[in-house]
Amino acid sequence: MASDPGRVLIFDTTLRDGEQSPGASLNLEEKLAIAHQLTRLRVDIIEAGFPFASAGDFNAVQRIADAVGTPEGPVVCGLARATRGDIKACAEAVAPAARRRIHTFIATSDIHLEHKLRKSRPEVVEIAAEMVAYARSLVDDVEFSCEDAGRSDPDYLYEVIEAAIGAGATTINIPDTVGYTTPAEFGALIAGIDRHVPNISQAVISVHGHNDLGLAVANFLEAVKNGARQLECTINGIGERAGNASLEELVMALHVRRSYFNPFLGRSAGSTQPLTGVRTEEIAKTSRMVSNLTGMAVQPNKAIVGANAFAHESGIHQDGVLKNRLTYEIIDARTIGLTDTRLSLGKLSGRSAFRARLEELGYSLERGDLDDAFARFKELADRKREITDRDLEAIMSDQAQQSEALYTLKLVQVSTGTNLQPTATVTLISADGAELTEAAIGTGPVDAVCQALNSLARVPNELVEFSVKSVTEGIDAMGEVTIRLRHQGVLYSGHAADTDIVVAAAQAFVNALNRLLQGSERPPLHPQMAPLSVGDIPLADRPRV
Ligand code: KIV
Ligand code: ZN
């Protein structure tokens, strides 16, 4: 039997696989904000990125390892292809963490061996063992993944896994890379590994899966029943293509149906001991943060974190819930942190009250950042009577997005109305301090603002998404705008909140433009593309920004 940590470990890959979602790239401040929030959520392992991809990715993993990798904090992990160059870069990046992990992988399906790696089965076994041994010479905690395990020959998988464990792998990850398997098949695959790999007792079995057929969460739950004790997942299920298994769905399934899953972990059905270490009350906030910073909206009917997940529309349901919530509710909204939006601060609140509330919400700011956030709060308090925790979260998301900005929005002015041609004037401050002003007309005020900003940025792009939603209720509520731009086939998102939605739209557009300008300078290196040679790639050849 595989090694058993006594509960189900939650390995969050929002900052690695999640960031591979089109348009979801994050800057350093945003990654740090998410890493801090994942730490508050108490995930066991944070996969912080793919350090070899670029100097920026390397730096982000290193900063996260430094910031949250305390002895009590999560294990900080980096991804590395099975090459010396990737593994060395990864070891350096995770070094500041007290508990650090290298996650290395190579494909094991015949399709990948033949068409991507152009390697034979024995060659891949040899590379896996050699690279795991190399990673183990650098850190004690090594995870090995058999990419495309879902479509690999199980007998060959057993052979690769045995070699990887023999070389020192402490976690064996079984990815359903293309989201192809069904729950019964995936469960049987895990059971087979547990039964047929002779040294499996020396490693934890982990699963990773994509949602191409909408089966990722169901597959993982079946894997847990068959011996998997680590689940690789993302907040809101974001990730490559149809996304990854969603963290909140897995954690809540294991929480709500604890008595069903307990016996599979050797517990009595009635045991009340949690099956994961996650603090469920942080789920809603983490979901909002990830959605705001990545620009990936959560569908209203999404399980657990969708806007409608706790709404009862039909009269019969409302009547039942009023009589007894258990008639139609299996989860108390408070379990995931959805409380009535708390009145937090007002116009007369001072700096220390502001700071104290932010700290209670989990944000601790350096002096300069606190000054900026406080100025933003005061400005908002002049326009909005009650400032809630949700408003503070929106301010903090905006602030994270605007760090590293090439352009800052200084002014936006529009004139619009019946019988008027909507006209906008905008002023941007460039990184070198120059003030740039432009005016434009448009079909509406937002269009006019975007036209004016485009004339200043002078980079071709297509607006593919514009959405507005309110942060809280009430006529003076802040409106949150998400914008997605396409440039040379790549998506870039921007998000901002303001009581004036035209200002929010302008800021969101500038945030997206900043990402576009920064992102298009960087040659993207995707972790799942084959290395130039599966052997050695010198560190000096790592792409630089
Ligand atoms: O989907 C996948 O196979 C992956 C691996 C790199 C673990 O993301
Ligand atoms: Zn993946």
Query: Per residue in 148-172, pLDDT tens?
Result: 999 999 999 999 999 999 999 999 9
Whether the per-residue pLDDT at 523 is higher than 60: the answer is no
Best residue among 45, 86, 151, 177 to mutate for probing ligand 1, ranked by most atoms within 8 Å of CB: 177
Give the number of the ligand closest to the Cα of residue 172. Answer: 1
**Tokens of residue 387, six digits:** 């400032």
- Which pTM was predicted? 0.91
Find the 208 Cα to ligand 1 centroid distance in Å. Answer: 7
Kindly state if the Cβ of 105 falls inside 6 Å of ligand 1: yes
What sign results for the dihedral spanned by CA atoms 154, 156, 160, 162?
A: positive
Give the number of the ligand closest to the Cα of residue 238. Answer: 2
pLDDT for 327 equals 84
pLDDT for 543 equals 43
Find the 219 Cα to ligand 2 centroid distance in Å. Answer: 14
* Domain range list for the chain: 9-294, 351-400, 404-521
pLDDT for 524 equals 59
Task: Find the DSSP H helices in 257-366.
Answer: 258-261, 283-294, 315-323, 351-360
Residue 443 neighbours by CB distance under 10 Å: 10
Query: If you average pLDDT over every residue of the chain, what do you get?
Result: 92
Kindly state if the Cβ of 56 falls inside 6 Å of ligand 1: no
DSSP state of 384: -
Whether the per-residue pLDDT at 40 is higher than 80: the answer is yes
**Count of all residues that appear for the chain in the document:** 545
The helix-helix angle for 28-41 and 55-68 (nearest 10°) equals 30
Find the 302 Cα to ligand 1 centroid distance in Å. Answer: 24
Q: Which CATH number fits domain 9-294: 2.60.40.3680, 3.20.20.70, 3.40.50.300, 3.90.1170.50?
A: 3.20.20.70
pLDDT for 342 equals 63
Average pLDDT of span 246-268: 98
Residue having the nearest C-alpha atom to atom 5 of ligand 1:
147
Residue 526: pLDDT band with limits 50, 70, 90? confident
| Ligand 1 atom nearest residue 147's Cα | 3
Find the 166 Cα to ligand 1 centroid distance in Å. Answer: 22
**Tokens of residue 496, six digits:** 């901002």
DSSP codes joined into one string, 6-33: SS-EEEE-TTTTGGGSTB----HHHHHH
Query: Per residue in 72-110, pLDDT tens?
Result: 999 999 999 999 999 999 999 999 999 999 999 999 999
Q: Which CATH architecture has domain 404-521?
A: 2-Layer Sandwich (3.30)
Kindly state if the Cβ of 17 falls inside 6 Å of ligand 1: yes
Kindly state if the Cβ of 145 falls inside 6 Å of ligand 1: yes
DSSP codes joined into one string, 89-111: HHHHHHTTSSSEEEEEEEE-SHH
Give the number of the ligand closest to the Cα of residue 79. Answer: 1
Query: Per residue in 431-454, pLDDT tens?
Result: 899 999 999 999 999 999 999 999
Find the 262 Cα to ligand 1 centroid distance in Å. Answer: 28
Whether the per-residue pLDDT at 536 is higher than 80: the answer is no
Average pLDDT of span 305-324: 79
Kindly state if the Cβ of 175 falls inside 6 Å of ligand 1: yes
Whether the per-residue pLDDT at 538 is higher than 60: the answer is no
Give the number of the ligand closest to the Cα of residue 109. Answer: 1
Whether the per-residue pLDDT at 545 is higher than 60: the answer is no
